[in-house]
Every structure is written in structure tokens, then in C-alpha cells.
């Protein structure tokens, strides 16, 4: 099933319960959330979309492998209910699709990813080391079923003739399942969104945008220099807002935001604004 919500000025939001048709990136194995289309052209690239839930259990992240779309109502509101099954974790495979079994490799990979996100001055060095190791050993990113199945319900509401989407995330009842953090991603393609601006006056372009930095301003946006398409998020009580952009060969091509939420909260809501810069 594919659901499409029309916005203004040639913009559309699309979600499907089928695998991603773009297979050039490792993330095509994941169940994507709402992807953005402008004048018939997808702006997603490798990105996972708007309102995409990720559960952290320590350093391990669980990603959606499937989604049910049991509710889709149109009228005064376009109202879509999505129930994601989070059962996939990232793995490293050698060329030839043989999984690397050594747990130490995954511990080091997760620790390096944590450092890349949290320690800005190490990013260039660690990213270079990671890319070199992948090239030398023929490593690629993949995803595998963990045997753990966690459900997260995300409800998307778009008022008719509006360019705002309300996102309500519900993971109640799973706080005792070892969850240490819930992240709600809101991202589209890095090539299509190459500029970051926020209400404090910060303006960054291209590689000047970090891969995972906390947003301190009240409101922040990603903008496409060519298309002038913009998407914007604001601070929400009970969550930390992060921004990032990564463009690495055929592996990474995303730009956007993530809300980090403590698991004890159980429910979380926010408003996403989408439009064309004047």
C-alpha cells in the first residue's frame, strides 16, 4: 500500500509498506517513513524520511523492518496511523555478503560512531579511518533480523490545505525492554538539502554542517539551495533536538533532524513544517 498526501506548490508526502525501490543505498532494507516529493521528483536519496522511529538499547540501535498502515482517513485531516516493527540492527558484511562475526568489530564500530557524533574535532579523522577500513577489507553496511520485535505506533496528521504535519509517537508499555533512548528521525536527501539555518542566525552549507550536533536555537530548518524546499522543526519539552548531514559515496546521503527522547516518557509529539522559501 502506498499513501500520498498532497501539500502546496508541487510538494507531496509519500509512505509505503513495500521495500524502498531505491536500492543503491544500504538503508533501502529499512522500512522508510514519509518521504518528500517535489514536482514528481523524490528528494529522499538514502534518507529514512519524516517521523522514523529508532530504539536504542545501549550502543545498539533497532530499526524498522516493516510497517502496518491500518488507518488512513481523509477529510478535514489527512490522518495516517503507522505501526512499525523494529527488528533490524546494522551489520558489517564483506563483499560477497558474508557477515563479519567478531563482536569486537561491532563494539569498536559503535564506539567510533558515538565519538563521531559527540566529539566534533575527531570527526574528520575517524570518518577517514572508517572509510579506509571499509575499502581495505571490502566491508559494506547491511542489516539483519535480531529476533527482537518492538512495536512503535506513529500517527501522522496533516490538516487539509496545510503544510504542517503533526507527528505523534507512542511506545508505551516497552520501558522495561532495555530501551535506553528513542530517536525520531526527520531527514531527506543530502544533495537536495544542503543548507542549515536556525532562529539564532546560524547558517551553514554543505560540509560545514556537522553529522550530529545539538540544536540550541528555538527553531531550525534544512533548505535545498536549488529547489528552495524547506523543512523546519522546533524545540519540544522532554526531548533534545539534533541536526546533521552526511554525504559519503554510495553509503550515506541524508540531511535532517533527530529528536532524542528518554524511554520513560512513552509518548511524544511535534509539528513539522514544510514549504518553499520565498
pLDDT score at 137? 45
Domain ranges for the chain: 2-89+150-276
pLDDT score at 218? 98
CA distance 252 to 265: 31
pLDDT score at 109? 57
Q: What is the full per-residue pLDDT of the chain (278 aa) written as tens digits? A: 899 999 989 999 999 988 665 567 778 889 999 999 999 999 999 999 999 999 998 878 899 999 999 877 776 778 999 999 999 988 766 665 555 554 555 565 565 566 556 656 555 555 555 554 455 444 566 788 888 889 999 999 998 778 899 999 998 876 557 888 999 999 999 999 999 999 999 999 998 998 889 999 999 999 999 999 999 999 999 999 999 999 987 778 999 999 999 888 888 999 999 999 97
Tell me if the domain spanning 2-89+150-276 has CATH number 2.70.98.90.
yes
Asked if residue 94 lies in contact with residue 139, where contact means CB atoms within 8 angstroms, the answer is: yes
pLDDT score at 120? 61
Entry pTM = 0.86
Amino acid at each position: 500500500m502506498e499513501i500520498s498526501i498532497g501539500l502546496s506548490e508541487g510538494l507531496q508526502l509519500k509512505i509505503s509498506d513495500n521495500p524502498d525501490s531505491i536500492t543503491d543505498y544500504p538503508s533501502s532494507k529499512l522500512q522508510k517513513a514519509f518521504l518528500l516529493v517535489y514536482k514528481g521528483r523524490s528528494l529522499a536519496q538514502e534518507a529514512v524520511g519524516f517521523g522514523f522511529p529508532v530504539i536504542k538499547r545501549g550502543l545498539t540501535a533497532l530499526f524498522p523492518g516493516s510497517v502496518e498502515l491500518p488507518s488512513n482517513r481523509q477529510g478535514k485531516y489527512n490522518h495516517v496511523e503507522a505501526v512499525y516493527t523494529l527488528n533490524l540492527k546494522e551489520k558489517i558484511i564483506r563483499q560477497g555478503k558474508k557477515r563479519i562475526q567478531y563482536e569486537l568489530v561491532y563494539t569498536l564500530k559503535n564506539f567510533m560512531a558515538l565519538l563521531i557524533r559527540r566529539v566534533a574535532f575527531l570527526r574528520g579523522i575517524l570518518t577517514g579511518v572508517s572509510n579506509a577500513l571499509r575499502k581495505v577489507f571490502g566491508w559494506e553496511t547491511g542489516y539483519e533480523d535480531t529476533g527482537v520485535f518492538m512495536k512503535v505506533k506513529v500517527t501522522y496528521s496533516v490538516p487539509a490545505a496545510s503544510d504542517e504535519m503533526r507527528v505523534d509517537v507512542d511506545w508505551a508499555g516497552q520501558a522495561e525492554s532495555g530501551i535506553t533512548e528513542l530517536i525520531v528521525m526527520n531527514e531527506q536527501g543530502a544533495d537536495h538539502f544542503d543548507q542549515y539555518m536556525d532562529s539564532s542566525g546560524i547558517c551553514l552549507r554543505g560540509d560545514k554542517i556537522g553529522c550530529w550536533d545539538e540544536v540550541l536555537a528555538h527553531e531550525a530548518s534544512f533548505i535545498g539551495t536549488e529547489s528552495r524546499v524547506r523543512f523546519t522543526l522546533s524545540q519540544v519539552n522532554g526531548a533534545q533536538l539534533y541536526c546533521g548531514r552526511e554525504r559519503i559515496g554510495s553509503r550515506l546521503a541524508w540531511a535532517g533532524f533527530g529528536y532524542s527522547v528518554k524511554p520513560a516518557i512513552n509518548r511524544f509529539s511535534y509539528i513539522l513544517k514544510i514549504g518553499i522559501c520565498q
